[in-house]
A = this chain, B = another copy of it.
Amino acid sequence: MLTPKQYKLLMFINKTIKETGCCPSFDEMKNALGLKSKSGIHALIDALVERNFLRKMPHKARALEVLRLPKLKPSSIIAEEKLKEEALLGATVEIPLYGKIAAGTPIEAIANETDKINIPFNMIHGGEFYALKIEGDSMIEAGIMDGDTVIIKRCNIARNGDIAVALVDDSEATLKKIKRDGNDILLIPYNKDYETRRLPAQRVKIQGILSSLIRTYH
């Protein structure tokens, strides 16, 4: 069994290597554990080497290798993670607000906007999300009104019946119900005054599907 510090350090080293491909330096590890001196890191690493969790090349820089990970977590770590999970439920995430949709401008073209909005974390998990402001009333019968903010989950495919962001001819983005019909794709508005558009599949790129909607009054 590892001490909480040893566990944390081992996890940090493993995470760093998996994410960056590089081993962290003693200074980086020191900062990750919130220590002010590298000497403590040295002792922890020795302990992890002795317990066969790490291998090191002595006197080489950034030359650690994770041999294995512990099966058991120190109980204090478990408690800490539980706290974090709970905190997450009350947290928000900032996602980019790319601009207006159904105005004829492709999302890519306005992706450099810096607007951000905050939404509760539990509304968006398992994917990458962005927000758009609705312009126009082509989806009004689906309860999507002019001025609403929609949260879009980024993805490349939509299932039949999904409401999705479709980019037509790389130049025009709209939010519509998507249906496949043979080699064509139907862009179906939710408004009797608008007509369904039928386009060859290769002219349409799905940019994401509707995940949630936020409206503010007054």
User: Footprint of B on A, CB under 8 Å?
Assistant: 1-4, 6-7, 10-11, 17-23, 51, 61-65, 69-73, 76, 78-80, 83-84, 86-94, 117-126, 128, 140, 142-145, 148, 163, 209-218
Contact = CB atoms under 8 A, between A and B. Distances in A.
A88 B94 contact: no
Tell me how many chains of this kind the complex includes: 2
A203 to B, nearest CB: 25
Nearest to A141: B140
A2 B23 contact: yes
Contacts of A79: 128
Contacts of A212: 214-217
Contact of A118 (B78, B89, B216): B89
A7 B19 contact: no
Nearest to A123: B216
A23 B5 CA distance: 11
B3 A21 contact: no
A84 B122 CA distance: 11
A155 B112 CA distance: 41
Contacts of A128: 76, 79
Contacts of A61: 3
8 contacts: A1-B63, A2-B21, A86-B93, A92-B118, A118-B120, A123-B214, A212-B214, A213-B216
Given A62-B2, A120-B92, A120-B120, A70 B216 contact: no
A214 B211 contact: no
B73 A143 contact: no
Contacts of A70: 17, 21
